Amino acid sequence: MNPAKPGVFLTLAAKHRAMLKIDMHSHILPESLPNFAKKFGYGDFIHLIRNQDGSANMMKGDKFFRRIGANCWDPELRIREYADFDTQVQVVCTIPVMFSYWAKAEDTKALAEFLNDDLAALSERYPQNYLGLGTLPMQDAELAIAELERCKKIGLLGVQIGSNINDKNLSEPEFFPIFEAAQELDMAIMVHPWNMMGMKQMEKYWLPWLVGMPAETSRAACSLIFGGVLERLPGLRVCFSHAGGSFLPTLGRIEHGFNCRPDLVAIHNNVNPRQYLGEFWVDCITHDPRALQYILELQGPKRVTLGSDYPFPLGDLEIGRFISEMDLPEETIEDIFCNSTLEWLNLDRSRFADMDKGSAKAEALPKKK
Ligand SMILES: [Zn+2]
C-alpha cells in the first residue's frame, strides 16, 4: 500500500487519469421492459414499476426484488458517473435475474433477443463507451447457439452466462456444444453467479450474496476445469466474476482434493487444477488489496480485469480506485485497467484511440521537445 500521504495518492491518481480504463463487469437494462409474464401467459419474469422519484422497482411476479435508479438504464448518466472515476469504457450485460433459464426455452430466447438487441443498439450508438455481452437461452443448446451466432452478427463481443443452469453444473455434456460454438465464433464468456445454492436455507443477512455467490463462482470454475471443458477448448476465453469467487482463495484445498482423492475429482480430467491458472480471466472485485495481490500472483496481471459490478451497492463503485492506491508497477495497473480486458474480448486498443491518452510505458518516456 502507498503511504498515507495525500500528495502521493493525488500524483498516482493523476497519472492513472490518462490511462485507458475499461470496466468489464457492469449491468444495464433497457429503459423499459415489456411485461413478459403477460405476453407469455405465465411465470415470474421481471418487470419494472416506475416510482415518482425517478427510480423503478424490479418486480419478480408480484414480489419486490430490488429498487434501481436511472443509472441502471440511462447511458448518458452512466457515462457522466464513470467520468468521475476516469473510466471511459463500460462492458455491459444484463442483470443475472433476467437470465430466466427456468422458462420455456423459446420464451427465454425471445427475452434474450430483446435484451441483446438493446445492448447492440447501445454499443452501436456509443462505440467508444459501450461494449455488449449478450445473454442466451442456456437451457436449450440449439437455441443458445442460434442466439450466440446472432449476438456475433449484431456486434456483441461475448455473452454472460449463469454459474449454473437450472441447478445443473456447467460441466454437463449438454452445455459443451455451446462452449464449443463460443470458441469457434470467437465470443468471450463471462460467468456470473446467480440462482445461488442454499438460497432457501440462508435467506437472512444477505447470505446468498455474501456466501452463496463466491461459492457459486467456484462451483462454475471447478465444473469447467474438472469436466474438461477448459482442457478440450483451449481457445475458449472465460472470465469469472468477483475475482473468481472462492475458487482462487481455496485453490490449495481444491488441488489437495485432486491429489488425495483422484477417484472422486479427476474422473473426467486428470490435469491438476493449478495448471489452469492464467488460462482464464477473473475480475478484480475483491474490495481488499491483499486479496487482489494474491490473485495477481496466481493469475498474472494479464488475466485480472477491471470490473465494478456497477451500479449495485455490493460492487466497487469507485471503479478500481483501490488499485491506484496500491503500490503496483504501472504496467500491472495498465494490464488490469485495460490490456487484460482487450485480450479477453480480442479487441484492438486502437478502437479507443480517441480517448486513450497513452500507455504507462509511453508516459514513462521523456517527452519530446
Ligand atoms: Zn455482477
Beta carbons within 8 Å of 262's beta carbon, 6+ residues apart: 270
Residue 159 Cα to ligand 1 middle (Å)? 13
Q: Quick one: pLDDT at residue 24? A: 98
Residue 259 Cα to ligand 1 middle (Å)? 33
Give residue-wise pLDDT tens across range 278-314.
999 999 999 999 999 999 999 999 999 999 999 999 9
Residue closest to 340 by CA, chosen among 200, 214, 180, 188: 188
Question: Is this prediction's pTM over 0.95?
Answer: no
Residue 134 Cα to ligand 1 middle (Å)? 14
Average pLDDT, the chain: 93
Give residue-wise pLDDT tens across range 328-344.
999 999 999 999 999 99
Please list all protein residues whose beta carbon sits less than 5 angstroms from ligand 1, which is an ion. 309
Average pLDDT for 220-230: 98
Residue closest to 309 by CA, chosen among 106, 118, 160: 160
Residue 263 Cα to ligand 1 middle (Å)? 35
Packing angle of the helix pair 105-125, 141-153 (nearest 10 deg): 10
Residue 25 Cα to ligand 1 middle (Å)? 6
**Would the CA dihedral through 228, 230, 232, 236 be positive or negative?**
positive
| Local confidence band at 353 (pLDDT 50, 70, 90 cut-offs) | confident
Residue 221 Cα to ligand 1 middle (Å)? 16
Cross-sheet strand order for the sheet of 281-283:
22-27, 89-93, 130-134, 158-162, 188-192, 238-240, 281-283, 304-305
pLDDT for 51 beyond 80: yes
Q: Find out whether the peptide bond into 311 is cis, omega within 30 degrees of 0.
A: yes
Q: Cell numbers at residue 52, please?
A: 415518482
* Whole-angstrom distance, CA of residue 354 vs CA of residue 109: 36
Residue 314 Cα to ligand 1 middle (Å)? 9
Give residue-wise pLDDT tens across range 106-117.
999 999 999 999
Residue 150 Cα to ligand 1 middle (Å)? 23
Tell me whether strands 281-283 and 238-240 are parallel, antiparallel or unpaired.
Answer: parallel
Give residue-wise pLDDT tens across range 97-108.
999 999 999 999
Residue 264 Cα to ligand 1 middle (Å)? 32
Looking up cell 442466439 gives 147
Residue 287 Cα to ligand 1 middle (Å)? 14
Q: Quick one: pLDDT at residue 9? A: 52
